[in-house]
Structure 1
Amino acid sequence: MFKEWINNTHGIARLASSHAPLSAAELLSSARAKTRLHDFGPEPIEDALAQLQRAVHEEADLNLFGRVSTHWDILRLLTNLLILRDRELADPAILQRPVTQPIFVLGMPRSGSSFLHSLLAEDETSFAPRCWQAIYPYPDHPAAGRHAGPRKVQRQFDFFHRLAPELRDVHPFNALTPQECTEFTAHSFRSLRFETIYHVPSYKRWVKQAGHAQGHRTHRRFLQHLQDTRATRCVLKSPDHVFAMDALREVYPDARVIFTHRDPLKVLPSVARLTEVLRRPFAKHIDKDVIGAQISADWAYGAQQIVAADTDGLWPGQHVFHVHYKTLTAAPLDTIRQIYDHFELEFTPAFRARLQEQIDRKPTGGYGKNVYPFADFGLRPEEERERYRGYMAHFGIAEEVVIQ
């Protein structure tokens, strides 16, 4: 990844010497010139890209690395859209491929959702998109660049881990790890993925107003390209789906949904720390109190949305399963079996053996034991406990943090 930036000397020189970011139209033109492709697909993207560009360059306080990497990332997303469309024009049947009864893991972040997702991905009859596939969906396409594929992605991740070494304990991943859904919705430029990496409050407000339906249509389109035709179902995960449940229901009316739950007082400092670690390489300055306030407000609203979805029956009861963090980590194999029984899926001996091997190798998903003080992010545990009391009572969530 770094070599790609260095080799693009003209673009680097322009970014380094000018405070004016490229316009959305200029970025589209650059991607077209780079790939010699012209059609980005059926959904409009220029307005959303313009909103993102303005917010990132006016609000995120980017350093030079942040400006360069953001430019590279947007061009990658645009390139992928051009490649997807090129494949669709060559084979229109791609957009007719069914995505039947996908399983989505969502709910509180840092509540075992990645661990659960990795276990569900061990079923050979399920398809869980991997990190490298979201970055290079068609590595063999001429426009994808040289050596596109899992090895190149791993080198990119290794480089980023040198910039943010704490990430290995906070959120371990590699090129073959099952990927979060926000990487797919990012291709619509209407995605909560960007507000995690950057401080972009105006863009966040714009996305909330614009809605998430287009992002989820792009998500489905990605799955139509990527899913293994031998698989029975797709298995997907992102806590951020909590903020887009109506769009998720609209685009995937037959989805099976697994909510993960945990004491928010264990969640909030951990999410704030992850956000800090992800933002730090890109920004000149990080305001940890601002991060804490954002995380607290976001997930108080998210908890209300989860309760409302359950109370209002957004999905039929047989389409929903609830998992508590303590139960999952204490008995992961039994939890998976209960999920399969609930959704009437076949729990094969081969799947059980693969699960046991994975659990033995990484009993908690490979996460380190991390403790982050509330005060580091301007959070007050007494106030946060009150914010989430209704959510915890509704789902019977046990307290993990004792307030002194």
Structure 2
Amino acid sequence: MSEQTLQGMPTADFDAEHRIAAAVAEAGSDDFGEPGFTDNVRAYLDAISTEADISPVGGLGLQHLVHGLLVNRLRYQADLATHPQIAAEDVSDPIVVAGLFRTGTTKLQRMLSTDPGVQELTFWRLLNVAPLPGATPEEPDPRIAIARDYVDGLASQSPEFMAAHPWIADEPDEDSLLLWLTFNHLAGGSVGYIPTFVKRVQSRDQRPNYDYLAGILRYLQWQDGGRRDRPWVLKSPTHVGSIEPILGAFPRATIAFCHRDPTVVVPSFVRLFEIFWGLFGNSVDPRKVGPVMLELWSAEMLKGLDQRDRLGDDPRIVDIYYDDIVANPIDVIRRIYDQHGRTLTPEAEKAFVGWEQDNPQHKFGKHSYSLESCGLTEDQVLAAFVPYIERFPRLRTEGMA
């Protein structure tokens, strides 16, 4: 299946038929749940093969990641067929933290998730949504150890990534890892420069992806003993252009939309993508990453603003500013809970305060960046985000850095 290099190291194999066959062989099932799904896989892997500058070691890691996604999708579909009651789980009212990268979304999600009355989307469950064969309730879930090993390996490979966005096995992280299971979402475009895949995704209706996300959340909720009056806390910057699909799939959701000066966040998230591309690729030029990311995420923001215009003054969307997340996170959470119809209990507030005390800024190292280093100017960023800044003028006021 895999070719060999002269040094004896196998090279990654991104042939879609090979990857699908390998996943089917491990899962013991060939039902991916959607007739056109394998076309998504083919389009994604073709873009990886022909456009992304993948390194030998990074390619093997990406092949392993793709294999895991396919196997988990097959196992989920098999469990859904065996346990039809999964489909009856109610996940209609998540708290969804959205906003551009580097706007305080991670802090807000992780703090919210310490409330004992919500469901946290821990990284170990994101990495493997399906229980492993042979796992028993009497023993620690083996998915936790797998996630810890994965995170430890990542920390050794790229301390810079952990400083920019630390993955922690038993803490919450982005539901974009679940949307990656569709092979039809921008989450999959984070591994390198794959413009044909990104354009394909941007041209397609995203509502089916969020319906699929709802199904995965039902699956995870069922594994954890059912709803028990616990809403999910979700988060991903990739949601900025999918406000209508989110509210269509989750009609009782509350979206906490985080805002920060784009001249600050753009170089920060360009640096993040530079590091992430570097996990899988050869040398990455930040001056190439910068214009690509600016075009992509300013377009997604504009798409989201257009959707908000159609929705009108929808109370399900709560606008949050970065400086408030930093200075007054409890007040921010109180606003979100008021909209969601939740009571901020003393137990939850104590948990929030404890999380903040235990997680000072730059706990895992400082994330350094500049506009100049990514080949952009302040004027370019401001021009790309004109509609956003006009709608939220506080973005350019003192304190929003």
Q: What TM-score do you get using the length of structure 2 for normalisation?
A: 0.90
| Identical-residue share of aligned pairs (%) | 24
Could you tell me which residue of structure 2 aligns to residue 220 of structure 1? 214
TM-superposition CA deviations, 1:214-241 (whole Å, max 9, x none): 3222211110111242242111011111
Query: In 2, are the aligned partners of 1:266 and 1:400 still within 8 Å (CA)?
Result: no
Could you tell me which residue of structure 1 aligns to residue 60 of structure 2? 68
Query: In 2, are the aligned partners of 1:196 and 1:279 still within 8 Å (CA)?
Result: yes
* Residue 250 (structure 1) aligned to one of 248, 251, 254: 248
SS in 2 for 1:61: coil
Q: Output aligned runs, 1:59-208, within 5 Å.
A: 59-142=51-134, 148-208=142-202
Query: In 1, are the aligned partners of 2:259 and 2:395 still within 8 Å (CA)?
Result: no
Distance in 1 between residues matched to 2:301 and 2:16, nearest whole Å: 35
Query: In 2, are the aligned partners of 1:120 and 1:235 still within 8 Å (CA)?
Result: yes
Change (3 A) 1:54 1:400: farther
Q: How much is the aligned-residue C-alpha RMSD, in angstroms?
A: 2.6
Distance in 1 between residues matched to 2:14 and 2:389, nearest whole Å: 46
TM-superposition CA deviations, 1:31-63 (whole Å, max 9, x none): 111232232224531100000111001111111
Query: In 2, are the aligned partners of 1:184 and 1:219 still within 8 Å (CA)?
Result: yes
Could you tell me which residue of structure 2 aligns to residue 265 of structure 1? 263
Amino acid at match of 1:64: P
Query: In 2, are the aligned partners of 1:106 and 1:237 still within 8 Å (CA)?
Result: yes
Cα distance, 1:141 vs structure 2:
2.4
Q: What is the number of equivalent residue pairs in this alignment? A: 391
Cα distance, 1:276 vs structure 2:
0.7
Distance in 2 between residues matched to 1:324 and 1:60, nearest whole Å: 35
Change (3 A) 1:127 1:42: same
Query: In 2, are the aligned partners of 1:257 and 1:321 still within 8 Å (CA)?
Result: yes
TM-superposition CA deviations, 1:285-324 (whole Å, max 9, x none): 313222100111122223323433333326x632111100
Q: Give the unaligned 5+ runs of structure 2.
A: none
Query: In 2, are the aligned partners of 1:261 and 1:397 still within 8 Å (CA)?
Result: no
SS in 2 for 1:257: strand
Cα distance, 1:14 vs structure 2:
8.8
Amino acid at match of 1:399: R
Could you tell me which residue of structure 1 aligns to residue 292 of structure 2? 294
Cα distance, 1:104 vs structure 2:
0.9
Could you tell me which residue of structure 2 aligns to residue 281 of structure 1? 279
* Residue 322 (structure 1) aligned to one of 319, 323, 327: 319
Query: In 2, are the aligned partners of 1:261 and 1:324 still within 8 Å (CA)?
Result: yes
Change (3 A) 1:389 1:208: closer
Distance in 2 between residues matched to 1:340 and 1:22, nearest whole Å: 45
TM-superposition CA deviations, 1:263-303 (whole Å, max 9, x none): 00110010000001111131123132221001111222233
Q: What TM-score do you get using the length of structure 1 for normalisation?
A: 0.89
Amino acid at match of 2:233: V
Query: In 2, are the aligned partners of 1:127 and 1:231 still within 8 Å (CA)?
Result: no
* Residue 354 (structure 2) aligned to one of 354, 357, 360: 357
* Residue 386 (structure 1) aligned to one of 374, 383, 392: 383
Amino acid at match of 2:189: E
Could you tell me which residue of structure 2 aligns to residue 55 of structure 1? 47
2:370 is equivalent to residue 373 of structure 1 = yes
